[in-house]
Chain A
Amino acid sequence: MLFLRTCRRRFAKAFKAFAIGSVCLLFCLATQAEAPLSKEDKLKAAYLLNFTKFIEWPESDADERQKTIRICIASSPKFLAFLNEMVRNIRVGKLQRAVNALPLSTAKQCELVYTRQSGTANNEKLHHAVVVVDSPEVKFPTTSIVFYEKNKKLRFEIDRDNISKTQVVVSSELMKLAKIK
């Protein structure tokens, strides 16, 4: 009995330790799998969405899908997922366009491009696309908006020449917040 009792106690302790360890492992795995996006990225995702509210793209006679503002992301999937979650059911602008986030790599056409990587201007999908780069260090030929940090706050710079080439109309509201290049 005592043995049994001792065994039982040992088993209970082992089980308890196992359970605690399992919970901790699961927690660690879970937290690693759901690794939160940084506040800066979240802000940048929000800024991207907000950009769509202050930029008017030229109208096209494309199909219904053309009525969607496509934000093409060349960043981590988390960022894309976060943005996707953010833009769900969001409609912006006079035309109340829907906003859609998608990977740049798969996108056929983009209205807004966000990239963290330097690169070269690519083909048709960037036509009329407003290119937003993650930082001044990111070099992209047709960059219109560059994120930068100032006083620990996220700010952005607008390249007037490049953005004008995209034939979009940028709201003065946006312009007044930006550093103009």
Chain B
Amino acid sequence: MKKNNRVKKINFFHKQLLSVVAINILPLLIMSGLLYSNAITDYKANLLEAMDNEINLLVSTSKSALLFDDQDAATELLSALKSYTSTRYAQLYDANGAVFAEYKRPGQKIDMPIEQFNGEIIFRNNNFYLSKAIMMDEDHLGIAVISADTNSLAMQKSHYILVTGWAFLGSLVLAYLLNWKIQKRFTAPISELIGLVGYVAKNKKYHKRLDGGRHDEIGDLILGVNTMLDTIETHEQQLYNRANYDELTQLPNRHLLMERLDHAIDIAGRNKSEIAVLFLDLDRFKVINDSLGHGIGDELLLQISEKLVGILRKSDSVSRWGGDEFVMLLENIEQVEDIELIVNKVILELSKPAIVSGHLLHITTSVGIARFPQDGKDSLSLLKHADISMYQAKSQGVGQFRYFKSSMLNKSVYRLRMEMELHNAVENEDFFLMYQPQLAIDGETVVGFEALIRWKLEGRLIPPDEFLPIVEEIGLMHRVSLWVLKQACQQNMSWQNAGLPLIKMAINLPPSFVMHQQCFNNIASALAGSGLEPEYLEIELTENTFLNARSTAGPILQTLRDLGVSIAIDDFGTGYSCMSYLQDLPIGTIKIDGSFINGLGLSRANEGIVQSIITLGKSLNMTIVAECVETEQQLNILRDMECDIIQGYFHSKPLDFDEAANFLTRKKKPLRLRSIKN
């Protein structure tokens, strides 16, 4: 296993190179073997041929010596074989088989009798033996015998082994070097590819590319890798953008903000400088979003983000935190005035009307400010404190900013608790309704009740203007409104069932409820569920409902009106300045805002406004309701102005269910609203 692992760890090209060299070794070995074998065979053949030539020469030259019985000549002839170092001995036998002459190399002895020669080459004891008959024409003159050793053959074998060994080694080295060189040349692009892939894998960076100027398979491979890297880089960039930038505004998102904030804190910590975190939350953006749709809301967010970017200094940055929340990071703050200069500029710029898809939209922003290092040492605490400050600013009204103070933490905790309690209250339906009577101007006839939601937390009555904004912010307003709607219809129906005078029940519905696509079904369902006739239900809408969704609200309101439900404008005079909607929309009632009623008898201008509203409403054949009537003087003035209905503490505070029933019992039978108008 270890060996396998070691083999696996060897560089691929090294393995390939070794494989090629190993493959080269085989033919080299075969060639070397063949060369060796061939050389040895040749040498042996040459040796034997030489031996044969030797004996032939001996035979041909020894005839005369034999014929003339000249042993001296024969011996001399044989002694010439000294030059043949391999020749051990040579003998000449005469025709009778007697030794005629012989030659022996020193140290050699005659080791084979003539009888054992047969004319062929004999190999015995590492020696060659050869004999040949000496003939003269047909006369047998004798026999020549030669014996040669194989020392030269052994030496030659050693020599060839050495030569072929060196040739083999040389070829091996040459094959290795050539293959290494060729492979290096051929695989250089692949090595570059591997390097690139390794670089990409290690650094997760995809910007490098290889030169693909080849037209072979490797060129295709490089092109493929480059293309893949292009794709990955694009996807990486997209992923990075998605991870770090808001898709709508293309501003940095909270992830990138946190990185930048951490970085800014590090630098500020080292440089002993200050930074400021501005938490922006658009006021009433939800109204716009709900009423005009998300498309308009998104367009508005885009314009706002552009404005914010335009306000920034080079060292600052802005990000979208989510929804209608933005966070601005101001670095290198030298003095508080620098922050306020920018904040005021932001509030001013954002408060300027924006035209989105033909809609003139008014938006403001609340800003919470937290500074480093005094308000937090890390990004999370800075953001949290800026967020708390923003809520504090928002509680002070629209278009405000607040610096973080440690005391805000308590309020924040309180708000958090409120949110939790409100969730529980919605689940448990812990709310209850109070009913404030609406009487005809004569003060005797009960025309209707306005249902007012109330909530008690641990026995303490929480004001609606305290908890309703939170309900709105935490997204529970629709459920709460639906509960109020059903509850009010059922109460009214129960009074009718109890034989009490028929009155109209007014309920306040937020713009988001009216804009909801199920608005009509919800109202119709509440009426059907309770059995209340639509004419005994009046929905009160603020002017803001028409501010941003006039075209959308119109058909819905008309449908409701056709059903028989009355529609009233609440807090009239405090909102939208354009009153053309009064003419276009099916509005039956105008409720003059209490701030105008409170000024009656104190300011002629105020009375002029009230009179104008009443005159306007009358001219449009609408019923006029005055809210917050608390004094007889106010009542008298309103009577003189021919106001139709009075609502306020002068007649009655909001009553609970039983009190309202008693109140109804005590008063005269209410008139039909239409009769009041007439």
What residues of chain A have their CB less than 8 Å away from a CB belonging to chain B?
A: 43, 46-47, 50, 53-54, 91-92, 96, 153-156, 171, 173-174, 176-177
Q: Report how far A177 CA is from B77 CA in the complex, Å.
A: 11
Q: Which residue of B lies closest to A43 (CB)?
A: B69
B64→A176 contact, CB < 8 A: yes
Q: Report how far A47 CA is from B67 CA in the complex, Å.
A: 8
Pick from A47, A154, A177: contact of B73, CB under 8 Å: A177
Which residues from chain A contact B67 at a C-beta distance below 8 Å? 46, 50, 53
**Nearest-CB distance from B618 to chain A (Å)?**
168
B137→A174 contact, CB < 8 A: no
B64→A173 contact, CB < 8 A: yes
Q: Which residue of A lies closest to B138 (CB)?
A: A91
A176→B69 contact, CB < 8 A: no
Asked if B12 lies at the interface with its beta carbon under 8 angstroms from chain A, I say no
Q: Report how far A96 CA is from B73 CA in the complex, Å.
A: 27
Offer 21 A-B interface pairs, CB within 8 angstroms, sorted by A: A43-B69, A46-B67, A47-B68, A50-B68, A53-B67, A54-B64, A91-B137, A92-B137, A96-B137, A153-B70, A154-B69, A156-B68, A171-B64, A173-B61, A173-B64, A174-B64, A176-B64, A176-B73, A177-B65, A177-B68, A177-B73
**Nearest-CB distance from A68 to chain B (Å)?**
16
Q: Report how far A173 CA is from B65 CA in the complex, Å.
A: 8
What residues of chain B have their CB less than 8 Å away from a CB belonging to chain A?
A: 61, 63-65, 67-70, 73, 136-137
Which residues from chain B contact A173 at a C-beta distance below 8 Å? 61, 63-64
Q: Report how far A47 CA is from B65 CA in the complex, Å.
A: 11
**9 tightest A-B contacts by CB?**
A173-B64, A50-B67, A177-B70, A177-B68, A177-B73, A177-B64, A174-B64, A50-B68, A53-B136
Q: Report how far A46 CA is from B70 CA in the complex, Å.
A: 13
**Nearest-CB distance from B100 to chain A (Å)?**
13
Which residues from chain A contact B137 at a C-beta distance below 8 Å? 53, 91-92, 96
**Nearest-CB distance from A115 to chain B (Å)?**
20
**Nearest-CB distance from B136 to chain A (Å)?**
6
Residue of A47, A53, A92, A174 with most chain B CB atoms under a 10 A cut-off: A53
Which residues from chain A contact B70 at a C-beta distance below 8 Å? 153, 155, 177
**Nearest-CB distance from B65 to chain A (Å)?**
7
**Nearest-CB distance from A171 to chain B (Å)?**
7
Residue of B63, B67, B68, B69 with most chain A CB atoms under a 10 A cut-off: B68
Which residues from chain B contact A176 at a C-beta distance below 8 Å? 64, 73
Which residues from chain A contact B73 at a C-beta distance below 8 Å? 176-177
**Nearest-CB distance from B216 to chain A (Å)?**
75
**Nearest-CB distance from B137 to chain A (Å)?**
7
Q: Report how far A60 CA is from B321 CA in the complex, Å.
A: 138
**Nearest-CB distance from B28 to chain A (Å)?**
52
Which residues from chain B contact A156 at a C-beta distance below 8 Å? 68
**Nearest-CB distance from B132 to chain A (Å)?**
17
Which residues from chain B contact A91 at a C-beta distance below 8 Å? 137
Which residues from chain B contact A155 at a C-beta distance below 8 Å? 70
Q: Report how far A53 CA is from B137 CA in the complex, Å.
A: 9
Q: Report how far A104 CA is from B221 CA in the complex, Å.
A: 109
Which residues from chain B contact A96 at a C-beta distance below 8 Å? 137
Residue of B61, B64, B69 with most chain A CB atoms under a 10 A cut-off: B64
Q: Report how far A177 CA is from B68 CA in the complex, Å.
A: 8
Q: Report how far A47 CA is from B69 CA in the complex, Å.
A: 10
Q: Which residue of B lies closest to A92 (CB)?
A: B137
Q: Report how far A154 CA is from B67 CA in the complex, Å.
A: 12
Q: Report how far A24 CA is from B196 CA in the complex, Å.
A: 128
Which residues from chain A contact B63 at a C-beta distance below 8 Å? 173
Which residues from chain A contact B136 at a C-beta distance below 8 Å? 53
Which residues from chain A contact B64 at a C-beta distance below 8 Å? 50, 54, 171, 173-174, 176-177
Q: Which residue of B lies closest to A54 (CB)?
A: B64
Q: Which residue of A lies closest to B70 (CB)?
A: A177
**Nearest-CB distance from B422 to chain A (Å)?**
143
A153→B69 contact, CB < 8 A: yes
Q: Report how far A91 CA is from B655 CA in the complex, Å.
A: 173
Q: Report how far A39 CA is from B70 CA in the complex, Å.
A: 16
Which residues from chain B contact A177 at a C-beta distance below 8 Å? 64-65, 68, 70, 73
Q: Which residue of B lies closest to A47 (CB)?
A: B68
Which residues from chain A contact B65 at a C-beta distance below 8 Å? 177
Q: Report how far A154 CA is from B70 CA in the complex, Å.
A: 9
Q: Report how far A177 CA is from B71 CA in the complex, Å.
A: 10
Which residues from chain A contact B68 at a C-beta distance below 8 Å? 47, 50, 156, 177
Q: Which residue of A lies closest to B67 (CB)?
A: A50
Q: Which residue of B lies closest to A49 (CB)?
A: B67
